[in-house]
């Protein structure tokens, strides 16, 4: 499965809800497209900060599918901490 590096994220106001991801090899992809690709096993997405690399996963939260990289809210690998796109 190909892997795509994620370098930016688009967030709703307040920064908690991820609306899409951006990477140099994939451009911008809406969250629904990323979730479909991950669930089909078509593409693996990851975030890298320095030597630390974290896979982007799909999890269910309050009945909705969401994207998660790391639950450490202070980590630069957290999707919420990526620069805005």
- Residue 55: beta bridge partners? 46
Residues 24-53 have pLDDT tens digits of 999 999 999 999 999 999 999 999 988 889
Handedness of CA 66, 44, 32, 15 (dihedral sign): positive
> Distance (Å, rounded) from C-alpha 70 to C-alpha 78?
5
Chain position carrying tokens 């992809």: 29
Grade residue 4 by pLDDT with cuts at 50, 70 and 90.
very high
pTM over 0.95: no
Q: Write down the pLDDT at residue 73.
A: 67
| Spatial contact of 43 and 6, defined as CB atoms under 8 Å apart | no
Greater model confidence, 80 or 10: 10
């Amino acid at each position: 499965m190909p892997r795509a590096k994620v370098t930016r994220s688009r967030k709703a106001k307040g920064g908690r809800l991820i609306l899409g991801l951006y990477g140099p090899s994939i451009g911008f992809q809406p969250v629904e497209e990323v979730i479909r690709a991950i669930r089909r096993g078509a593409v693996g997405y990851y975030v890298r900060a320095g030597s630390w690399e974290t896979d982007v996963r799909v999890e269910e939260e309050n009945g909705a599918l969401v994207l998660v990289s790391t639950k450490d809210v202070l980590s630069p690998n957290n999707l919420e901490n990526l620069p805005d796109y």
